[in-house]
Structure 1
Amino acid sequence: MAAKNPPRDRLNLLLKSLGTTTIFTIDPQNIQTYYSTDFKDYGVHRLRKKAFYPLLADGIFSTDGAYWEHSRALIRPTFTRFNVANFPAFEIHFQKFLKLIPRNGTTVNLSPLLDDLFLDMSTEFIFGESVNALDESSDEASESHEFLNSFHHAQRGISIRSQLRTLSLAVHKFVDAHIDKALELRRERLASKKSGTVLDPSISRDEDDDDEKHRYILLHEMAKATDDRRELRYQTLQVFLAGHEATAIGIGNAIFWLCRNQKVWEKLRREVLEQMEKGEELTFESLKGLRYLQWVINESASSLHSPVTFYLLLA
């Protein structure tokens, strides 16, 4: 485990190559500077913009300045603690995931199962409908795997623009179908407000109403603010990029290390079981209160094998 307060000369590395100067840093003060206090002084590297454009175009991870602020304002309201802590919805997919793990101790490759688990979770949260990738018997399974395979291949070749067109079209087709539904819901909502009729509780719901029964769907919430199909497509795709693959990789890394550290696994299991024995409903706050769980996630999913190895910015 890294020292808590290492010398500052071990936190920064300056590299000069082919006339270009690059500074690598893990200094918390530097990270706070370009993510928070002086964010406007840094921009997205041009290589990232060119690599992202064929598949993901303009969105929260490939823009800066005023458009980035607009993107954050569009997406951020849905990512409140109340909205993301939808444990009943997560539990449905998690139980499907558990059923696919052999009970006889047979070695199993969890990577594709984790991909499907977080694909199901993220598509339900972002688009309002799960693709049911964990359920091979469902009608959506074949289409969802075509979408996921296209998305992954497009990611792997994201810097080779000439090979992306067909794969990008398959991804865009999948997302556009959900955008059509969201925009239809937007039209119905506007029509119901104009006429004073109530077609559906979710349509007439005010934005400031904190009804716990309301199901937050990122795409539907964004469609309240804009009917720009292109913007909705690329903003949701960029959130999907972060929410699906990075989460699956992070949890996969945690499981990888837990399998190789029996003492850590047993201690983590005891902490979780003690929480469950209280008989309390699982909440965002109760999860944050599991300190050892937080440490395990920070070490295995962030420190040892982070899904994002580095983030390139221009000063």
Structure 2
Amino acid sequence: MFFQLFISLLPLFLTVVFCLFVAKSSKLTAKPRPNLPKSYPLLGSYLESKANKNRRLEWITGFLQSSPTATFTLREPLGRRQIFTANPANVQHMLKTNFPNYQKGPNSRGTLFDFLGDGIFNVDGDSWKFQRQVASHEFNTKSLRRFVETVVDAELSDRLTPMLSNAARTGTVLDFQDILQRFAFDNICRIAFGYDPAYLMPSLPQAEFAKTFDDGTNLSSERFRTFLPINWKIRRFFGIGSEKRLKIATSDIRDFAKNIVREKKQELKDKSSLESVDLLSRFLSSGHSDENFVTDIVISFILAGRDTTSAALTWFFWLISRHPEVELEILKEIREKSDSPIFEEVKDMIYTHACLCETMRLYPPVPVDGKVAMGADVLPDGTEVRKGMGVAYHPYAMGRMESIWGSDWAEFKPERWLERDAAGKWSFVGRDSYTYPVFQAGPRICLGKEMAFLQMKRVVAGVLRQFRVVPAMQKDFEPELVVFLTSKMNGGLPVRVEERGECD
């Protein structure tokens, strides 16, 4: 009991000691440079960082917006430094030009290892190359794309649409973020495992695996926000507090996943030919049968496939509720494509695609991504990088840079992604992945990008064709983006659902 109290009070004790030191030496401390957080000996910018912990994205974004090169160095406690950049040239340098030098690094890998193991999102070097090669082959097959279409459409027609119809009929207020997370969780489990958790049901069941997965995600992300990493490592060693809960969550996640892997192995062994087309069956059938390897990679796919698409769609439905003229344009496009086959329909939804891109510009599912420099370097803007220094590119800030998007960057404006031809037809005008690194860029660019857009556009078409989604909050209410390993809308998105009439 005493030891646990000591561990919990350690950050406070260190802060007091540092503050006393700062008070004695403040007269000798030079004034901070303009447009940088205040920094003190030993403490660095910890005090200001702690004061802004609930708005860290906006806090960092402010410094990047005011920096001439959209880059600055944050001084952390005990002499550590972290570079943040929203400069496309720097992003390209990190993610492509000098890609081998900017890796996940041992600290990030150690922080997430209990949850993600040696999965593709938590490794570098040869291990990453091997997993990327295997996954890339499977993601590029037409049969997987058809399977994804079938899964998404079944979840839409059998579960999401009936649930929204019932809510419209009864006047029930739904947390649409929760609904979309359930939708995405069912989808990704069926696509990755060939397993249906039936999370999106009328009773809104509390699926144990989904809850445990949430705990694993949230508790793992808390490690990154610890004042000193040694704190969570001590808690893990003694099995106390949040680390005790994380150990239980990760153990349950891995046991659940391994049981599915074993069942799938047996299923494939009993079959004379491959009938299942989920990712797990594909990996096992191609000779990659190591239980830990397959478990790690599938857990990583669940993390990527569940929270990213649901986060993007949550913000999308809120934004179009604020812009009825955009919703009308989307609805027009949906009705024009209603007689097309599924894949052709979503492929040709140009305006909807632009709306989703604009949504993720303002609210990227992964708002910041950090790397570690394996060797000393100099970024294109002249920023010096020391070996072992953290360097993070910041998609959230990049979506708010006037130098990239113009003076109207704060506006939700799908037209910035579009142009009309001579006949007045929209065509999509994309941005390069270093200016818009929402799906990463370079060798690590997201393999599931096209799958994500397919799923999101099918949801948009399926929902808006039949329903109007109306936020059940005050018109001037501004939701808050909160970040775990991916971003979410704080408190969810309460909505009422209305059936569309024939003239809507």
**TM over 0.5: same fold?**
yes
Shift, 1:7, TM fit: 11
Counterpart CA distance in 2 for 1:77 and 1:40 is 22
Match of residue 226, structure 1, among 279, 282, 288: 288
Counterpart CA distance in 2 for 1:130 and 1:303 is 32
Counterpart CA distance in 1 for 2:281 and 2:331 is 38
Shift, 1:12, TM fit: 2.7
Match of residue 75, structure 2, among 16, 19, 41: 16
Q: Which residue of 1 aligns with 2:162?
A: 99
Q: Which residue of 1 aligns with 2:348?
A: 289
**Which runs of structure 2 are paired with 1:45-194 in the superposition (5 Å)?**
45-80=105-140, 82=142, 83-85=144-146, 86-95=148-157, 96-101=159-164, 102-104=167-169, 106-135=172-201, 145-158=207-220, 159=223, 160=232, 161=236, 162-163=243-244, 164-188=246-270
Shift, 1:186, TM fit: 4.9
Counterpart CA distance in 2 for 1:291 and 1:27 is 28
**If each structure's strand is expressed as a fraction of its own residues, which one has the higher value?**
2
Counterpart CA distance in 2 for 1:61 and 1:170 is 20
TM-score by length of 2: 0.52
Deviations 1:87-137 (A, max 9, x none): 222111012112112124553211111111011100000001211112367
Q: Which residue of 2 aligns with 1:248?
A: 310
Q: Which residue of 1 aligns with 2:103?
A: 43
Contact map agreement 1:78 1:216 (CA 8 A) in 2: no
Contact map agreement 2:163 2:202 (CA 8 A) in 1: no
Segments of 5+ residues of structure 1 without an aligned counterpart are 1-5, 189-198, 203-213
1:312 pairs with 2:384: no
User: Which has the higher Rg, Structure 1 or Structure 2?
Assistant: 2
Contact map agreement 1:8 1:27 (CA 8 A) in 2: no
Deviations 1:40-89 (A, max 9, x none): 22110333212211122111111111111011122222222622353222
Segments of 5+ residues of structure 2 without an aligned counterpart are 1-64, 224-231, 237-242, 374-504
SS of corresponding position for 1:47: helix
Counterpart CA distance in 2 for 1:17 and 1:129 is 44
Structure 1 residues 165 and 268: CA distance shift in structure 2, 3 A? same
Q: Taking every aligned residue pair, what percent have the same amino acid on both sides?
A: 19
Deviation larger for 221-230 or 14-23: 14-23
Counterpart CA distance in 2 for 1:241 and 1:80 is 20
Q: Which residue of 2 aligns with 1:201?
A: 273
Q: Which residue of 2 aligns with 1:194?
A: none
Structure 1 residues 103 and 136: CA distance shift in structure 2, 3 A? closer
SS of corresponding position for 1:312: strand
Contact map agreement 1:43 1:64 (CA 8 A) in 2: yes
Q: CA RMSD in A?
A: 2.4
Deviations 1:197-235 (A, max 9, x none): xx4432xxxxxxxxxxx6521111111232211111111
Q: Which residue of 1 aligns with 2:331?
A: 269
Letter in 2 for 1:150: T
Letter in 2 for 1:103: A
Shift, 1:314, TM fit: 1.1
SS of corresponding position for 1:309: coil
Q: Which residue of 1 aligns with 2:41?
A: none
SS of corresponding position for 1:103: helix
The number of residues matched between the two structures is: 281
Shift, 1:39, TM fit: 2.1
Shift, 1:293, TM fit: 1.1
Counterpart CA distance in 1 for 2:313 and 2:132 is 26
Match of residue 86, structure 2, among 6, 26, 32: 26
SS of corresponding position for 1:9: coil
Counterpart CA distance in 1 for 2:202 and 2:345 is 34
Structure 1 residues 8 and 281: CA distance shift in structure 2, 3 A? farther
Counterpart CA distance in 1 for 2:67 and 2:351 is 28
Counterpart CA distance in 1 for 2:310 and 2:292 is 27
